[in-house]
């Protein structure tokens, strides 16, 4: 019983007789033999692992995307090696030390744009970006600009006349970009609709619920506070809602609030929000990455459209 034959059996090679096949398999079963994953990787030159870099602290939208990623990766037979980025430094470490072809077969990055330098260093490693675009890398994004417009149109239809926006600072430490695109769509639609610029205010800052509270306070302390606020994410909308409650503002009568993402808490709170496919973009990103790793054309994957953005109207507008 030669080692080569055993390998062939394990790899379903056609060049093996049915007799020995069953024999080998039964012995394998009997001995409880399992082939060594690492040794196989070394011989094959592929690790069968995919690196995933994601900013966990922005949960729960990132988590929802991760679920999509995990599902597809598992199905395709790849290990998911997670790198959580909570600080700018970790972001850099992820690209410098973690994103190496000898450790992983491919890299999936959520929300964090690599610098041109980092993109260059990634050469040779299949990479897919989710929720962000950079350096010509493959990426999966939703139409954030349009999402912003949808929010504006919804608020306009509700009869609002003064508008606020709360989102991530353009030059934030992590390079988050979706907030900015949503802002542009929102403001663009408002202005096109004839809303005078002085009736549109905005407050930008670091991401987070607590941080959003300060931003909301700033907006509501304005001489002409907005009657409606669009927050670039549900997490931030949550902060706005807190401030409203704290100030005794009735929602939506005194202040309307619309968020973005439609994570579970939005449904629980009755928060009106722009729903985007979270799980699906993660899944799509993973599919594209696996296709790239295995040299398959991504065409078919692109053909199935992602669920379009839409406003889910609930009780806060």
Binding stretches for DNA (CB under 7 A):
1-8, 10-11, 14-17, 19-21, 34-36, 39-40, 42-45
Task: Give the largest Cα separation in the chain, rounded.
Answer: 86
Q: From a second copy, DNA, none, which one binds at residue 301 (CB under 5 to 8 Å depending on kind)?
A: none
Q: Is the peptide bond preceding residue 252 cis, with omega within 30 degrees of 0?
A: yes
- Point out which residues pair with 275 in neighbouring strands: 261, 310
Q: Are 138 and 184 in contact (CB under 8 A)?
A: no
Q: Looking at beta carbons only, is 152 or 237 nearer to a second copy?
A: 237
Closest distance of CB 71 from a second copy, Å = 7
Q: Is 15 or 171 the residue whose CB approaches DNA more closely?
A: 15
176 binds, among DNA, a second copy, none (CB under 5 to 8 A by kind): none
For residue 206, the minimal CB distance to a second copy (Å) is 15
Residue number, 39 or 299, with CB nearest to DNA: 39
Count CB neighbours of 119 within 10 A.
17
Q: Which two tokens stand for residue 3?
A: 């080692």
Q: Quote the least distance from Cβ 264 to a second copy, whole Å.
A: 6
Rounded Cα distance between 71 and 286, Å, is 9
- Cα torsion through 204, 259, 177, 171, rounded to 10: 10
What backbone torsions phi and psi does residue 50 show, to the nearest 5 degrees?
A: -120, 135
For a second copy, give the closer residue by CB, 1 or 39. 39
Q: Which partner from the list DNA, a second copy, none does 4 bind, CB cut-off 5 to 8 Å by kind?
A: DNA
15 binds, among a second copy, DNA, none (CB under 5 to 8 A by kind): DNA
Q: Which of 45/77 has CB closer to DNA?
A: 45
Nearest Cα neighbor of 159 from 228, 217, 225, 212 is: 228
Q: How far is the CB of 150 from DNA (least distance, A)?
A: 50
What Å distances lie between residue 34 and 11, 25, 100, 264, CA to CA? 13, 11, 27, 41
| Identity of the residue, 5 or 115, whose beta carbon is nearer to DNA in the bound complex | 5
Q: How far is the CB of 116 from DNA (least distance, A)?
A: 27
Residues of the shown chain interacting with a second copy in the complex, contacts defined by CB under 8 A: 34-39, 41-42, 47, 49, 52, 56-57, 59-60, 63, 66-67, 70-71, 74, 79-84, 86, 90, 100, 102-103, 209, 238-239, 241-242, 245, 264-265, 268-270
Please report which residue ranges of 49-194 form alpha helices under DSSP H.
61-76, 88-93, 116-121, 144-157, 178-192
Residue 16 contact, options DNA, a second copy, none, Cβ 5-8 Å cut-off depending on partner type? DNA
CB of 126 to DNA, least distance (A): 18
Min CB(44)–DNA separation in Å: 5
H helical segments located in 11-161: 18-31, 37-44, 61-76, 88-93, 116-121, 144-157
């Amino acid at each position: 019983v030669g080692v080569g034959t055993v390998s062939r059996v394990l790899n379903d090679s056609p060049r093996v007789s049915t007799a020995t096949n069953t024999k080998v398999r039964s012995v394998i079963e009997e001995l409880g033999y399992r082939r060594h994953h690492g040794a196989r990787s070394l011989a094959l030159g592929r690790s069968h692992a995919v690196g995933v870099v994601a900013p966990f602290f922005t949960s729960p939208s990132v988590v929802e995307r991760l679920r999509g990623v995990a599902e597809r990766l598992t199905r395709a037979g790849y290990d998911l090696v997670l790198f959580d980025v909570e600080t700018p430094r970790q972001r850099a470490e992820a690209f410098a030390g973690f994103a190496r072809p000898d450790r992983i077969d491919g890299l999936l990055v959520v929300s964090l744009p690599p610098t041109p330098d980092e993109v260059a260093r990634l050469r040779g490693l299949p990479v897919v970006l989710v929720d962000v675009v950079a350096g010509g890398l493959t990426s999966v994004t939703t139409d954030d600009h349009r999402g912003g417009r949808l929010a504006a149109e919804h608020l306009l239809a509700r009869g609002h006349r003064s508008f606020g926006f709360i989102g991530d600072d353009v030059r934030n430490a992590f390079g988050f970009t979706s907030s900015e695109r949503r802002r542009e769509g929102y403001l663009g639609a408002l202005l096109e609709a004839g809303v005078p610029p002085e009736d549109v205010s905005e407050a930008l800052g670091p991401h987070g619920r607590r941080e959003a509270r300060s931003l909301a306070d700033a907006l509501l302390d304005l001489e002409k506070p907005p009657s409606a606020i669009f927050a670039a994410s549900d997490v931030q909308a949550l902060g706005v809602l807190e401030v409203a409650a704290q100030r005794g503002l009735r929602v939506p009568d005194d202040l309307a609030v619309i968020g973005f993402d439609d994570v579970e808490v939005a449904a629980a709170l009755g928060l009106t929000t722009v729903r985007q496919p979270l799980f699906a973009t993660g899944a799509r990103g993973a599919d594209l990455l696996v296709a790239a790793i295995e040299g398959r054309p991504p065409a078919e994957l692109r053909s199935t459209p992602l669920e379009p953005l839409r406003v889910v109207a609930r009780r806060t507008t």
